[in-house]
Amino acid sequence: MNIFANLQQEYLKAQRFRKRTIQAVRFFILICFLAVWEITADLDIIDSFFFSSPSRIIRTILQMANDYSLFHNIGITLLETVFSFVLIVLISLASAMLLWLLPSFSEVLEPYLVMLNSLPKSALAPLFIVWLGANTTTIIVAGISVALFGSILNLYQSFKSTDEEMEKLIYTLGGTKWDVLSKAILPSNIPTILSSMKVNIGLSLVGVIIGEFLAARAGLGYLIIYGSQVFKLDLVIMSIVILCFIAVLFYGIIGLLEKHIKRAA
């Protein structure tokens, strides 16, 4: 007994050590990257006008934080992204459920969905501007359009491939098609729904940035376009760095949600 307990302790210790080492190496890579970037820029090995440098980025951030314009722009992009993400999730869930409930209807629609899904959505953005005006609506629609069709197809496919015997079980208990959906298909597809959310949050960020390139007066996408036009590349690169953080943040939040749901289940 004691021996096994010791072995278990040792195993846990080794695992903790491994985890810490991995984190340390990750951090080390980041530091190296930043250091090399800063040093080469200071020594004029790379031209900091084009490539900026960590210190210039921090200076830009502090400057913009002073007059709150940084928070304003980040906030706008965040809001637009969250808004289009929520809409994507709701619309694609509802559509996939509808398609599953009406198989003939979905068979009719399938080629259209596939076509819409493979269409490069950035091609649509100029149209949205003409139709909806250069405003937030356009940006959110652009955000939605990037992920929506793929998400519908993905969810519908996964609903369809749920074990047919599960469906039969619900019928033997006197259930209806709606019961099959709500009691068997939806709960058994929660992992798929979560993984599609992970993809969608990234894609809606992409869509929102495309929208902001074309139609915004604020937001990180707008800062990138504006910065490149007036050759303030510090601004551009700072925005990109912030986008990196936002992407990681969103991904982390969905990861937490996933953990929470797994524990609740």
**Residue numbers at the binding site for another protein (CB under 8 A):** 163, 165-166, 168-175, 179, 183-184, 187-188, 190, 265
Is the Cβ of residue 59 or residue 183 nearer to another protein in the bound state?
A: 183
Signed CA dihedral, 47, 51, 52, 54: sign only: negative
- Are 80 and 227 in contact by the 8 Å Cβ rule? The answer is no
CB-nearer residue toward another protein: 40 or 188: 188
Smallest separation, CB 175 to another protein (Å): 4
> Are the C-beta atoms of 222 and 216 separated by less than 8 Å?
yes
Q: How far is the CB of 76 from another protein (least distance, A)?
A: 38
The Cα–Cα gap between 132 and 45 comes to 47
Distances 127 to 48, 75, 87, 122, 124 between C-alpha atoms, Å = 37, 26, 20, 10, 5
CB of 212 to another protein, least distance (A): 40
- The end-to-end CA distance of the chain, in Å, is 33
Q: Which is nearer to another protein, 169 or 240 (CB)?
A: 169
- Least gap, CB of 195 to another protein (angstroms): 16
Q: Which is nearer to another protein, 49 or 178 (CB)?
A: 178
